[in-house]
Amino acid sequence: MDNNTYTDKELAIFNGVIDLINRGANIYSVTVSEIAKASGVGKGTIYEYFSSKEEVISKAILYKMRKETDYAIARVESKTNFKDKYYEALKIIVENFDNKFSTINFLLSTGRLDKLYAYLVDEEELIPCYISRIESLIDRLLLMGYEEEIISIEESQYYKRMVIISSIAAFLNYVNNREGYCDIDTEKAMDYCYKMVVKALN
Amino acid sequence: MDNNTYTDKELAIFNGVIDLINRGANIYSVTVSEIAKASGVGKGTIYEYFSSKEEVISKAILYKMRKETDYAIARVESKTNFKDKYYEALKIIVENFDNKFSTINFLLSTGRLDKLYAYLVDEEELIPCYISRIESLIDRLLLMGYEEEIISIEESQYYKRMVIISSIAAFLNYVNNREGYCDIDTEKAMDYCYKMVVKALN
Amino acid sequence: MDNNTYTDKELAIFNGVIDLINRGANIYSVTVSEIAKASGVGKGTIYEYFSSKEEVISKAILYKMRKETDYAIARVESKTNFKDKYYEALKIIVENFDNKFSTINFLLSTGRLDKLYAYLVDEEELIPCYISRIESLIDRLLLMGYEEEIISIEESQYYKRMVIISSIAAFLNYVNNREGYCDIDTEKAMDYCYKMVVKALN
Amino acid sequence: MDNNTYTDKELAIFNGVIDLINRGANIYSVTVSEIAKASGVGKGTIYEYFSSKEEVISKAILYKMRKETDYAIARVESKTNFKDKYYEALKIIVENFDNKFSTINFLLSTGRLDKLYAYLVDEEELIPCYISRIESLIDRLLLMGYEEEIISIEESQYYKRMVIISSIAAFLNYVNNREGYCDIDTEKAMDYCYKMVVKALN
DNA sequence: TATGAATGAGACTTCATTCAT
DNA sequence: TATGAATGAAGTCTCATTCAT
């Protein structure tokens, strides 16, 4: 699936790409020269480790997604009750809101990188793995909600997951358009999402 | 806001761009030659009507969004009760599901074209206009739900809109990942969305 | 040699080209559209009267040269003594000083349009005709100087013409670089030229 | 003023441009492809060293002018008396007669590159430096003529320089139009120029 | 006759990739 | 192994010329 280990150079290059993306670069218009400079390696070196620009960017994005997924799961798991876990997820979104290629943004919108990024073909088998890890996280969250008797509904797992995901999508929409919602602060937006979740699962 | 009228050539070019997008072309890597061929006009002709490739693509996308918005509103308005209106909206999404730049996909995910498409700077003032028309549609939908006593909740308009939008985002997520949900057919997915809406607004 | 008569449209086009040149346009980068606009005719009309852009510009320059030659000869001939004639020639230069393609500038520098303007091949037979008219003018000037006993030298006609031409070249150089000669005003520069002519022909 | 040192590639490109000009190419219509081919480098390489075609041509012309100025000064200075120096200058002109952009041709006619070549904006500060070096050369020539008692006139330095320059312009005109002066050979034309100088400065 | 909308050849320029060092 | 100078394919855009009106 992924050997998980990268050489120092590969990591330097990934971090260069990620830096560029975080600084607003567009993955379609970023150049190899820019990646080389941001990575602190020579242009030729990139081709020692990757066979094309597309491969560099694809693998860097997947690396970024894995890191973000790991991080998000760790943070959510560190909380010990349904509400805290849920709010923690929203907080992560706030912290990454301007991150066009954040895992969450991507998973919720198209759900498929190849639509946004035609390059990513060979690597796509990793995506379902991330999705599945996120789904497990949601399942554990739901279980906790059930144990805490916040969730009482007898419904399919699909429905329950859907409620969580859709509330997160709503929050993402809020964060992406905060300037359009001047009378709703972030705290309030979170509360509304939580309220929807509780009502829809009750 | 927009003079709303275009020459035949401009429309041919817009339709060429829209065709390319619908056929899976990426707006970042599409070339002027491809646009010219898809539009059935000469390469030079494009520059008689637009001053740059960026302008062509930006304006074509905005044109597409306006058309889609008009169409969606007309279809939803043609229905006479809350449930039919809501399902009609979901049906439109199904019909456009592979449409990466559909208005709905875009409005729900980032809400801002400039994030996905850095080109669009000057034209962006049109976007809030589309958002506002969609919001009005949602408001009318909600009002009908209230009159039909499907909605009883006493909550802010923000919350009520959020519920609708988030349910649509959930449905979009379903449609975008249908192959991952083999045990849920489209009808069922719609029903789940509707259920969530009713519960969250009750 | 030249049928001397042009249609109104041809004249309009010539004057458009001349206007553009006088306003600083470069004959190599001027476009047919600019010529059409400056001439007040449609772009297609230009091709009704000329077979290519090169032909338009070539013929316009030759037309300009003929007009300038006619004008210069008439003005010089209107004066009745050697000194007045000579100064009149210099005055014409002052009035046209910023005119990169003035006949005089051209005749004195390279003497051949095809060096400056590779287009002009077919039309070049007209140039010797202008040169010859200018030479006749110089010869009449010299004769008058001889009659007025300003010129006494017994030398070849070549030498005498050369003196006049070189003094004019010197004046042209002055006019073209006036800002570099802040302590020499135009009057003084003319006087120096005249002095040189008189000394060299005495 | 100019760092005076260029990389091998830059020199190859300059020489490519100079070759093209010497072979009759027009600086306005020459293409980057032609320059690349004439220079023996790839088209892309040109843009590694210069930021635009205009810059390439401008800098190449200035490089050519500096080389020509150096060469002309060295040759004139190598002669030890007034007459030899003067004739040496004329000989250099003969050797470069078909050189449309020779420094001398340019300095004498318009005196300003920007009139002939609108590109040259930033580099123009070098031109006065060449002019001033030529003027110094002329001043030394005149001083020698004075010491040899060929020049006796009491006149301004402007007048004396003007006589030299105008005689050179006359010779340039001869060389440029040799085919029109079939009864005057080059030797004779030089003698006439020298005669004019001596008479005008006596 | 007069026009200008339409066009495609060809210009300049960028940049992914190679390869000699 | 690491590099960046060199390159040419391919991109955007211009404009001389055509031709239907």
SS (H, E, C) chain B: CCCCCCCHHHHHHHHHHHHHHHCCCCCCCCCHHHHHHHHCCCHHHHHHHCCCHHHHHHHHHHHHHHHHHHHHHHHHHCCCCHHHHHHHHHHHHHHCCCCCCCHHHHHHCCCCHHHHCCCCCCCCCHHHHHHHHHHHHHHHHHHHHHHCCCCCCCCCHHHHHHHHHHHHHHHHHHHHCHHHCCCCCHHHHHHHHHHHHHHHCC
Min Cα separation A157/chain B (Å): 11
* pLDDT of amino acid B101: 61
Share of chain D above pLDDT 90, in %: 58
Is a pLDDT exceeding 70 seen at residue D172? Answer: yes
Q: Is the CB of A11 under 7 A from strand F?
A: no
CB under 8 Å to C88, separation ≥6 — which residues? C75, C76, C78, C79
- Residues from chain D that touch C31, judged by Cβ atoms under 8 A, are none
- Assign B113 a pLDDT band (cuts: 50, 70, 90): very low
* Residue whose CA lies closest to nucleotide E6 C1': B45
Query: Does B159 contact A108 at a Cβ distance shorter than 8 Å?
Result: no
For B24, phi then psi, to 5°, come to: 100, 5
Residue with tokens 């739901």: A142
Q: Which residue has the tokens 């597409």?
A: B64
- Residue B45 beta carbon within 7 A of nucleic strand E: yes
- C1’ F13 / CA B32, Å: 10
Residue A169 has its nearest CB partner, among B173, B180, B202, at B173
User: Which structural domains are found in chain A, ordered by start?
Assistant: 54-200 (1.10.357)
**Averaged pLDDT, B69-94:** 94
Whether residue A46 contacts residue A10, with contact meaning beta carbons closer than 8 Å, is answered with: no
Is the Cα dihedral D8, D10, D12, D18 positive or negative?
A: negative
Coil vs helix vs strand at A162 = helix
CA-CA distance, A149 to C78, in Å (whole number)? 114
Query: Quick one: DSSP state of residue C26?
Result: -
Range with lowest mean pLDDT among A130-139, A170-179, B81-90, D74-83:
A170-179
Render the burial of D81-101: b for 16+ CB within 10 Å, e for the rest: ebeebbbbbbebbeebbebbb
Chain A residues touching B159 at Cβ < 8 A = 192, 195-196
**What is the spatial distance between Cα B21 and Cα A116, in angstroms, rounded to a whole number?**
12
Question: How many alpha carbons fall within 13 Å on the CB side of residue B177?
Answer: 23
Across A26-30, A123-127, B23-27, D29-33, least confident range: A123-127
Percent of chain C with pLDDT over 90: 59
C195–D199 C-beta distance less than 8 A: no
Q: Dump the DSSP string for C76-98.
A: HHT--SHHHHHHHHHHHHHHTTT
CA to C1' distance (Å), from A33 to E15: 8
C195: confidence class by pLDDT, cuts 50, 70, 90:
very high
Cα(C110)–Cα(C158) distance, rounded to whole angstroms?
Answer: 18
Q: Are B121 and B114 in contact (CB under 8 A)?
A: yes
Alpha carbons C121 and C9: distance in angstroms, whole number = 23
Query: How far is CA B165 from each of CA A99, A196, B137, C103, D134, rounded to the nearest angstrom?
Result: 21, 12, 12, 76, 79
Q: What is the mean pLDDT of residues A76-101?
A: 87
Q: At A77, which helix (H) or strand (E)?
A: helix A53-77
CA to C1' distance (Å), from D86 to E10: 48
Q: Is the pLDDT of residue C35 over 90?
A: yes
Q: What is the pLDDT of residue D1?
A: 40
pLDDT at site C105? 66
- d(CA A128, CA A136) in angstroms, rounded, equals 12
Helix axes B157-176, B186-200, angle to 10 degrees: 160
Question: What is the rounded distance in angstroms from the CA atom of residue C118 to the CA atom of residue C144?
Answer: 39
Q: Do B173 and A192 touch (CB under 8 A)?
A: no
Task: Protein contacts on strand F: list nucleotides below 7 Å from a Cβ.
Answer: 1-20
Average pLDDT over residues A24-46: 94
Helices H / strands E in chain C, number of each: 10, 0
Contact A89, A71 (CB under 8 A): no
Return the HEC string of chain D: CCCCCCCHHHHHHHHHHHHHHHCCCCCCCCCHHHHHHHHCCCHHHHHHHCCCHHHHHHHHHHHHHHHHHHHHHHHHHCCCCHHHHHHHHHHHHHHCCCCCCCHHHHHHCCCCHHHHCCCCCCCCCHHHHHHHHHHHHHHHHHHHHHHCCCCCCCCCHHHHHHHHHHHHHHHHHHHHCHHHCCCCCHHHHHHHHHHHHHHHCC
User: Token digits for C50?
Assistant: 């000329």
- Of the candidates C184, C161, C152, the one whose C-alpha atom is nearest the C-alpha of residue C171 is C184
Residue D146 has phi, psi (to 5 degrees) of: -65, -45
Give the least confident one: B54-63, B176-185, C188-197, D100-109.
D100-109
Chains with 3+ CB–CB pairs under 8 A to D are C
Of residues 23 to 52 in chain B, which lie within 7 A of strand F by their beta carbon? 30-33, 43-44, 47, 51-52
Distance CA D62, CA D66 (A): 6
Contacts of residue D7, Cβ cutoff 8 Å, sequence gap at least 6: D49
C-alpha span between C93 and C164 (Å, rounded): 14
Which residues of chain A have a Cβ shorter than 8 Å from any chain B Cβ? 26, 28-29, 100, 105, 108-112, 115-116, 118, 128, 131, 156, 158-159, 162-163, 165-167, 169-170, 172-174, 176-177, 180-181, 183-184, 192-193, 195-196, 199-200, 202
Give whichever of A88-102, B115-129, C152-166 has the largest mean pLDDT.
C152-166
- CA-to-CA distance for A198 and A76, rounded, in angstroms? 18
Contact B112, B57 (CB under 8 A): no
**Longest CA–CA separation in chain C, Å:** 59
Average pLDDT, chain C: 87
Whole-structure pTM value: 0.88
Whether CB of A192 is under 7 Å from strand F: the answer is no
Average pLDDT over every residue of C10-16: 97
Touch between C and D (at least 3 CB pairs under 8 Å): yes
Cβ distance C158 to D184 under 8 Å?
yes
- Whether residue A114 is predicted with pLDDT greater than 60 in this model: the reply is no
Chain B residue with CA closest to A155: the answer is: B192
Confidence grade of residue B20 (pLDDT, cut at 50, 70, 90): very high
Tell me A52's DSSP state. Answer: S
pLDDT of residue C118: 56
Can you tell me which residue has its alpha carbon closest to the C1' of nucleotide E10? D31
What's the one-letter identity of residue D157?
Q
Q: What is the DSSP string of A53-65?
A: HHHHHHHHHHHHH
- Tell me whether residues D118 and C26 touch, CB distance under 8 A: yes
Binary contact (D167, C165; C-beta < 8 A):
no
Buried-state track D138-160, b at ≥16 Cβ within 10 A, e below 16: beebbebbeeeebbeeebeeebb
Between CA C141 and CA C153, with CA C147 as vertex, the angle to 5 degrees is: 85
Q: Is the CB of C45 under 7 A from strand E?
A: yes
User: Residue C99's closest CA among C126, C75, C67?
Assistant: C67
What span, in angstroms and rounded, lies between the C-alpha atoms of D96 and D90? 10
Q: Is the pLDDT of residue B112 over 50?
A: no
| Nucleotides on chain E within 7 angstroms of protein Cβ | 1-20
pLDDT, tens digit (0-9, with 9 covering 90-100), for A179-202? 778 899 999 999 999 999 999 998
Q: Pull the structure tokens for residue B101.
A: 């730049």
Measure, in angstroms, how far nucleotide E20 C1' is from residue A45 CA: 15
Contact B192 A131 (CB under 8 A): no
Which two three-digit tokens encode residue C167?
A: 């003094």
CB atoms within 10 A of CB C67: 14
Q: What one-character DSSP code corresponds to residue C5?
A: -
How far, CA to CA in Å, does A199 sit from each of A79, B195, D29? 22, 11, 74
Q: What's the confidence (pLDDT) of residue C154?
A: 85
Q: In the C/D pair of chains, how many CB contacts fall below 8 A?
A: 115
Once rounded to an integer, what is the mean pLDDT over residues B44-68? 93
If you average pLDDT over every residue of chain D, what do you get? 87
Name which of A100, A169, A196 is nearest B108 (Cβ-Cβ): A169
What is the number of other CB atoms lying within 10 angstroms of the CB of residue B48? 13
Long-range contacts made by residues A39-47, C-beta under 8 angstroms, separation at least 24?
A: A39/A12, A39/A13, A39/A15, A40/A12, A40/A16, A41/A9, A41/A12, A41/A13, A41/A16, A45/A9, A45/A13, A46/A13
**D46 contacts D40 by C-beta, under 8 angstroms:** no
Residue D179 tokens read as 């085919």
Model confidence at C12, pLDDT cuts 50, 70, 90, reads: very high
